[in-house]
Amino acid sequence: MLFKTITKENFKKMVEGLLEENEVIGPRSRDQDLGGNKIYRFLKINSFEELEMDYTRSYSSPKNYFLPFEEDLATYRLNDKDWEQEIRYTIHPRVIIGMRACDINALLKLDQVMLKSVYPNPYYFARRRNTLIIGLDHEPLEDCFCRSMNTDTVFHGFGLFLTDIGDRYFVAINSDTAYIILNQFDAREVTEEDQERYKTVKKQIESKFKTQVDITILPELMDLEFESEIWKKWGHKCLSCGSCAMVCPTCYCYGIEEDTNLTFTKATKRRFLYSCNLLDFAAVARGHNFRPDAHIRLKYRYYHKFRGFVEAFSQSLCVGCNRCGKACLAGISPKAVIDDLIKTEKK
């Protein structure tokens, strides 16, 4: 990997340059919670000033810029006896600024499913290819457990990755495009002093992790505790509202629906992200529901994250961002559930 540094002034110029020809997405705050904390999300920015580089965590992950909550897979022009199908993969070039290491690692996990499987997803591929990711380091929040999930650092899957070292950013460069862009804005070779500052910041980040989740034997534990009462305990609180899956950077389950316009001259095949916690997730034709109970659905969500995905790809599907825990009104968080499982096992 190549490293350079760029002053914050020049970074601003770079963002302004990118804004000229790309759709630029970045962390922005809107609203405050009861504690007066800003609520951030990844939204389109129109100027550098709208970008909040000091953001803490976005309420929802930037997943939707790769797997939209709703997307048209195909549109059809219907005529008397036949139809013409139109499929578009193209998207406007996009830049996402400020993604965390956990969120980029989440994309790498999604890549396993969307790009490296038997049937790659061309819609996802188009977005992934046409998006320049500029990552950003941060000091972990109270409940970040990405360290436990081995997703607190990232070495590929982005164009640039920034670490704030005072008046400038220390930049890891991971693509030709990103390299070319960066060099247009007076990026400087890394000096010894830059390197020292970078190491200091990194150590500081490392020292601030507070939350740990023990996943050492989690896949086995999941099997051993398949019938555990803890699923009922948490399932009883679960609102089956799907919030966890919507804000999650890696939940990718979906449904498909088809619809026509009012004159039956056009039709659309649409994919929409769904959640395995929703009541009819496992309902099939004629109405049978394989998972009618909330606690079973909750259990299987955790199974997919911490066991099924491990079996298939030798890694967990959770990146430890705790967005699901934050979004859950009922207070269901991976940390709480897994700690409970471990406690049960030790009894």
Partner 1 sequence: MKYLGITLERPKIGVFDFTGCEGCQLQIANKEEDLKDLFDLVEIVNFREISSDRREDYEIAFIDGCITTDSEVARLKKIRKQAGILVAMGACACLGGVNNLRSRFSLSDVIREVYDRHHINTGPVRKVADVVHVDIELPGCPISKPEFEWLVRHLVLGIEPQFPKYPVCVECKQRLNSCVLDMGLMCLGPVTRAGCNAVCPRNRLGCWGCRGPSEEANFESLIEILREKGFTEEHIAERVKFFNAFSGVLNSDR
Q: Which candidate, 144, 145, 115, places its Cα nearest to that of 129?
A: 115
The residue range among 33-41, 46-54, 159-167, 188-196 that interacts with partner 1, by the rule CB under 8 A, is: 33-41
| Biggest alpha carbon–alpha carbon distance for the chain | 72
Per the listing, tokens 């970040």 go with: 144
For residue 266, the surrounding DSSP H or E stretch is strand 266-273
The residue range among 110-118, 148-156, 171-179, 234-242 that interacts with partner 1, by the rule CB under 8 A, is: 234-242
Q: Is 174 in the site for partner 1 (CB under 8 A)?
A: no
Residues 249 to 268: which contact partner 1 by CB under 8 A? Answer: 259-260, 262-264
- Shortest distance (Å) from residue 279 CB to partner 1: 5
- Shortest distance (Å) from residue 330 CB to partner 1: 6
The residue range among 3-11, 18-26, 185-193, 326-334 that interacts with partner 1, by the rule CB under 8 A, is: 326-334
The residue range among 88-96, 130-138, 193-201, 323-331 that interacts with partner 1, by the rule CB under 8 A, is: 323-331
181, 187, 278, 337: which one contacts partner 1 (CB under 8 A)? 278
> Would you say 74 or 279 has its CB closer to partner 1?
279
DSSP-assigned letters across all residues of 31-87: EE-TTS-EEEEEEE-SSGGG--TT---BSS-GGGGTS-SEEEEEEEEE-SS-EEEE-
Tokens representing 333 are 């968080």
Q: Is 189 in the site for partner 1 (CB under 8 A)?
A: no
Q: Is 186 in the site for partner 1 (CB under 8 A)?
A: no
5, 10, 64, 131: which one contacts partner 1 (CB under 8 A)? 64
Q: Is 237 in the site for partner 1 (CB under 8 A)?
A: yes
Q: At 75, give phi and psi (nearest 5°).
A: -120, 155
Q: Is 3 in the site for partner 1 (CB under 8 A)?
A: no
Q: Is 184 in the site for partner 1 (CB under 8 A)?
A: no
CB atoms within 10 A of CB 40: 21
CB atoms within 10 A of CB 230: 18
| Cβ–Cβ under 8 Å, residues 340 and 161 | no
- Shortest distance (Å) from residue 329 CB to partner 1: 5
Residues 79 to 98: which contact partner 1 by CB under 8 A? Answer: 80-83
- Helix-helix angle 334-346:230-237, to 10 degrees: 160
> Would you say 220 or 280 has its CB closer to partner 1?
280
Size of the site for partner 1 (CB under 8 A): 42
Burial class (CB in 10 A: 0-12, 13-18, 19+), 316: buried
Question: How many angstroms separate the CA atoms of 319 and 315, rounded?
Answer: 10
Which residue type, as a one-letter code, is found at position 344?
T
16, 21, 54, 70: which one contacts partner 1 (CB under 8 A)? 70
Beta-carbon contacts of 159 under 8 Å, excluding residues fewer than 6 positions away, are 132, 133, 134, 173, 174, 175, 177, 178, 181
9, 16, 33, 196: which one contacts partner 1 (CB under 8 A)? 33
Q: Which candidate, 111, 114, 105, places its Cα nearest to that of 318?
A: 105
7, 12, 22, 43: which one contacts partner 1 (CB under 8 A)? 43
> Would you say 159 or 242 has its CB closer to partner 1?
242
The contact set with partner 1 (CB under 8 A) reads 30-34, 39, 41, 43, 59-60, 64, 69-70, 78, 80-83, 236-243, 246-247, 259-260, 262-264, 273, 275, 278-280, 294, 327, 329-330
